[in-house]
Each structure stands twice: as structure tokens, then as C-alpha cells.
Amino acid sequence: MIAVPPPTREGKSHASALACFCPRCHSHAHGHREGGELAVSQGVLGEVLAELRAESAEVEGLVAGLPHTAWGAPTPAAGWTVAHQIAHLAWTDQRALHAATDPEGFRREAEAQLARPDAGSFIDEGAEDGARLPPDELLRRWRAGREALEAALAGLAPGVRLPWYGTAMSAASMATARIMETWAHGTDVAEALGVVREPTDRLRHVVRIGVRARDFAYAVRGLEPPAEPFRVEVTGPGGQVWAHGPEGAAQSVTGSALDFCLLVTQRVHRDDTGLRAEGPDAERWLGIAQAFAGPPGVGRAPSPSLRPGVPPGRRVLEDEA
């Protein structure tokens, strides 16, 4: 297995760019598994790709038409501007495209990058290079790259697995991972621009990855994961309940899907969510949850200007507190 580089700056998880689908992340998943991942039909792959297209278009809508100065606005990820966030998405799409179209070439490249003394810095370097481009050119490259990636994933034969920085992934898992990362970095962009994004049903993909990565969050900290599965019931934006784990489990997490997704991608501190944990193990998990691979993420500091359940972008004024 190729080693996975760590997050490189405070609160910057590179969420699904380094999404982990190792067996530890799947030990408490429920449903049919095939090769460590849920079996996915080509029809489902098409559906996931369509949702990735929609998520990407929504994030593009945040930045298309921005004045050039706005691309330099700082985001919650220390040292990264709006341009860095979009450049990172474009860079990761290109790496995924490389994995889909030239797997052996990607393996050689990844092994060389991860063998560097500063393993992980190549991610920041990719963002820095892209952020220096004129915004129109950066946007054009991101659009072209993700369209090429979608076509490449759709054209893969069933059962083909793509090499990655961690465990190899199916086309559907790669597309799902791209949804998670696009949403997470889009959240950073929205906060930088003072925009509130309306949550969508696409959050169910982020929820699923976050639940399946439960044991990894413990293992990466040298902790023993709880032996029993948890019940996670979160409410989607339309009132639907997305449930994972056995009913009647002694340890459970409930609340909004948005809060859960913000937490597992480390876009919000535990104290700034309305999530409810039943049982000490479930509460401990919420304090360490991460839906990305690599060493523990630093996460975000608690924000006194946010009420629990209020998403980033909706700041509470002093006289509202």
C-alpha cells in the first residue's frame, strides 16, 4: 500500500483528495461489500457522476464572474485563498485523470512524491502553482479537467480499480470522493465570500464516507476503535433520515446531516454543531472524526461567533448572541 501524506496546514484536510477506503475504514459498514467497497452498478456510477457534475457546477457558480481581487480573499484554511481552493480542486481532478488514463504512470509519480522528505508538500505546491494563474485560465482548466475526468471514469470497464495515494478505488468511489472534496472546499470558498450554501441531498455521500471512516479516525491516533458499531441517524435537508449502523446500538449520533458533514471534513469544531451523542464512545468519536486519510487533522478552533447548528457563512452579530 502506498503511504498517505498528511494534511499540511491547520484545518486543511484535503478531504477526499486523500480519501481512505482501507479495510479499517470499512469494518463497521453495513451492506454488501465487494473488494472492500460497496458493489456499484454502472447505472449507479452514472448517477454519482451526475451528482459530481452538479456539485462542481454549484461551486463554480460561487467564483464565476468574481472580480480578480476576490480570488485573493483568505479562506478558513490558513494560507489558502479562494484561488488556492479552486486550484486544489483542479489539481486533484488532474491527478485522478492521470490515475484513470495512465495507472502505471500515476503509480510511479505518486511513489516518487511520497518518497520525498517533505511528503505531502506536493499538494500545497499544486495549489500554489494553480493559484498563480489568471482566474479565467484557472477556471477554464478546472472545468476542462473535471469534464475529462468524468468522461474517463464513465469509460472505465466495470471492476477496474484506480491507483491512488492510499488504497486503490473503483470509479464510483473516486467520483464519490470527488463529491466530498468539492463540497468541502466549496464550503471554504463560500465562507470566504460570505455566502451561505443551501445543503442538498448530495450530502449523503459525505455522510457515508464519514461513517465508514470511523475506525480509521481511532487507528490513526493510536487508539483502539470501539468493538461495537454505532448507530448514526442524521437528517438531510429535505427531512429525510440517513441511517447507518444497527438500530438499538448502545452508542449513537443524531442531528443534522450538514453538521455531521462539516464535522467529519473538519470544517467546524464539535462545539459549533448541534450533533447529539449517546454514550461516551460516540462522544469521543465526534471529537476525533475525520473522513480523510493521513495523520490526524488539526481541525478548526471553536468559533464564539457561531451558534450551534449555524453553518459557516452565517455569522451571528453581537446583538444577536
Extents of the domains making up the chain: 15-193, 203-320
Pairwise CA distance, residues 170 & 35, whole Å: 9
Whether residue 38 has pLDDT greater than 50: no
pLDDT score recorded for residue 26: 30
pLDDT band at 198; cut points 50, 70, 90:
very high
Q: Which helix (H) or strand (E) holds 254?
A: strand 252-256
Whether residue 13 has pLDDT greater than 50: no
Mean pLDDT value across the chain: 84
Q: Per the confidence metrics, is the pTM higher than 0.85?
A: no
- Classify 232 as helix, strand or coil: strand
Whether residue 74 has pLDDT greater than 50: yes
What is the arithmetic mean of pLDDT over 140-162?
A: 97
pLDDT score recorded for residue 294: 67
Name the percent of the chain lying above pLDDT 70: 80
CA 197 vs. chain centroid, Å, equals 16
Q: Are 56 and 146 in contact (CB under 8 A)?
A: yes
Whether residue 7 has pLDDT greater than 50: no
For residue 70, give the DSSP letter. G
Whose cell is 450530502? That residue is: 203
pLDDT score recorded for residue 41: 57
pLDDT per position as a tens digit, 262-303:
999 999 999 999 999 999 999 999 999 999 866 677 788 887
pLDDT score recorded for residue 12: 45
pLDDT band at 321; cut points 50, 70, 90:
very low
Lowest mean pLDDT among 49-63, 165-179, 241-255: 165-179
Q: Which three cell numbers stand for residue 261?
A: 458533514
Q: Are 76 and 267 in contact (CB under 8 A)?
A: yes
Cβ neighbours of residue 250 under 8 Å, at least 6 residues apart? 228, 278, 279
Pairwise CA distance, residues 12 & 81, whole Å: 12
Q: Which stretches of 64-170 are DSSP H helices?
A: 82-101, 103-114, 121-131, 135-154
For residue 68, give the DSSP letter. G
The CATH fold assigned to 15-193 is Four Helix Bundle (Hemerythrin (Met), subunit A) (1.20.120)
pLDDT score recorded for residue 305: 60
CATH number at 203-320: 3.30.1050
- Classify 193 as helix, strand or coil: helix
